[in-house]
A and B are shown apart, each in its own frame.
Chain A
């Protein structure tokens, strides 16, 4: 079992997430894609921790999870309130904050 496969999987998941963020309009989907990217990173962190034989990466992964959880709370709340006021969850429709 080589760590390379884990890293490749992580890169694949990250790319899917990044492309998803860039191409999808629905805020929920974008949000999911961000989560996907975070977890892809988690995967590489854990992998590297395993390779290096230290726990640092795993600790870091916990931090990411905590932050991600907090982010979900805030992010979903924002998406909810945007949906309530604008009747849409498309990120392209919420472009008031410009120039």
Chain B
């Protein structure tokens, strides 16, 4: 079937031999901005920050075009920078792998990244003093994310993996004064760390069984490993992917992460970082494509399908603008997971959906940011409505992103999502029906909650009139400055056109990285899937329109609602579960251990000391000072000694 992915690694030549520049530019940007301090960099920090990412994007384009000039089997190139951790048989290098998959990501990251940097210039205009630090963190993120996708082994991937986690932590907790932002940042980092344990253990297992952790080495030897090892590695990698990509059961951090500034949500928590899990599985396609890994792949599919429905259901119930989008992200990444779980039939479409999603979700988030920017940072969609008149550009770009997301025919999402649904129906037996059905149901629900969002924010009556925001100001919605609208317009173009353009070219382009797309006979034909998906979309959107566009919508959230809505509002009890299973027992365990350590372990030591002191105190009392009692004890002692001597003598 596919070409042997491991065997064809060429040393980097041409522009690719300087590919370290990709990492160095944003990394230097971050270092300079952090060292310069906020006062010195106030005037130029945002410009430097944007310029480095733009430079990296241009360099990425150069690499891309150079790569397209090569024949497909020469497109996978390795570039050794330096030896990182060489100890004994373990040899970890800082080295880059430049191949179609990583280049695709490089363009996505630097392209969307650059747009969002530019957008942030306007968005962070209110807090000029700290803006350069914000750009430093963004640059740090870009550098780490590029390392993640460019590294040529699992350890360098892990380096970038934790690096983006750090950047994400710093940016979620950007509003240091708000307690919940700090908590959300910590939660994000911790849940990611849980996933990282999986990734780390996968790396350890690779080293134990194969003696290497580089892609080339692992992919070459993985075929010879036992089923148990392959499945274990597959599941451990999946755990890592679940953490980073907000998949069940580690999804709870992503909605909370919306506490960060909106450009951060767009870049990190929608377009790039959270898709790293999908990248990981696509990158490990030589592992997952093995017949031994079928069980692991099934688990990936189950996780993906379950998460995509979970995200949709919860998304229907939320009233917070960004959290609805966050759950939408959870759900869309579920689609991607499902796709890459399908194996050779789905890798390319998972990546395709990832790219189109990168465009329209980033655009949607920027739209959300634009709305909130004009509405005193208000996030409650019940307090909005009728905003299309006040923010026409935002509305237009948001609507295009919305149409792309719900899979409106011939926009981006239509191509990518339908391919996934089609591929899911292509599984054998019950799996085809279950996964295909789940994906189709997801499409219906997606249309429902997104329509609800659009209607409540932009259409209907302006419910915000006469209300005041939390800080007591009136709402004066207004269109955002051009540094913010231009990136939105560009992304809207992407939402419209990217799917159509990429759908034909991407599978072939990615072939050297993830193998060829496996064609197979599906349960339903391609055309049929398109019809079914469109019908599902129309039903979902129509239902939402009927429910929310007609009549008055209350400004206050209705409290007397049915059980499913209550469950969805409570994140389907995901947080309760975490709380009950980990947080509470952990807290009790910690308290108990502190007690044991103070009273038990240390108590034992202090107890011995106190015991010695106390018994000496008692013994001291026998020293009465009466000479005659000493004499008596001497006498008694002598008698004892003599008795003992006699006993020994005559026994």
Contact = CB atoms under 8 A, between A and B. Distances in A.
Interface of A: 18, 21-23, 25, 30, 91-92, 94-99
Contacts, number: 31
A99 B621 contact: yes
A99 B626 contact: no
Interface string B209-231: 00000000000000000000000
B627 interface: yes
Contacts of A99: 620-621, 623, 625
Closest 7 CB pairs of A and B: A98-B625, A95-B625, A91-B627, A99-B620, A21-B631, A99-B623, A98-B623
Interface in B631-646: 631-632, 635
A22 B628 CA distance: 5
A96 B623 CA distance: 11
Contact of A92 (B620, B623, B628, B635): B628
A98 B620 CA distance: 9
A91 B635 CA distance: 18
A31 to B, nearest CB: 11
Interface of B: 620-621, 623-628, 631-632, 635
Given A22-B628, A30-B627, 14 more contacts: A22-B631, A22-B632, A30-B628, A91-B628, A92-B628, A95-B625, A95-B626, A95-B627, A97-B625, A98-B624, A98-B625, A99-B620, A99-B621, A99-B623
B631 A92 contact: no
A97 B630 CA distance: 12
A98 B628 CA distance: 13
16 contacts: A18-B635, A21-B628, A21-B631, A22-B632, A22-B635, A25-B628, A91-B627, A91-B628, A92-B628, A94-B625, A94-B627, A95-B624, A95-B626, A98-B624, A98-B625, A99-B625
> Could you tell me the dominant secondary structure of chain B's interface residues?
helix
A84 B420 CA distance: 114
B633 to A, nearest CB: 11
Contacts of B632: 22
Contacts of B628: 21-23, 25, 30, 91-92
A91 B627 CA distance: 7
B621 A92 contact: no
B622 to A, nearest CB: 9
Contacts of B626: 91-92, 95
Contacts of A91: 626-628
A71 B582 CA distance: 80
Nearest to A97: B625
Nearest to A33: B631
Contacts of A23: 628
A96 B625 contact: yes
Nearest to B619: A99
Contacts of A92: 626, 628
Nearest to B627: A91
Nearest to A19: B635
Contacts of B623: 98-99
Nearest to A91: B627
Nearest to A92: B626
A99 B631 CA distance: 17
Nearest to B617: A99
Nearest to A95: B625
B15 to A, nearest CB: 91
B624 to A, nearest CB: 6
B206 to A, nearest CB: 71
Contacts of B621: 99
B628 to A, nearest CB: 6
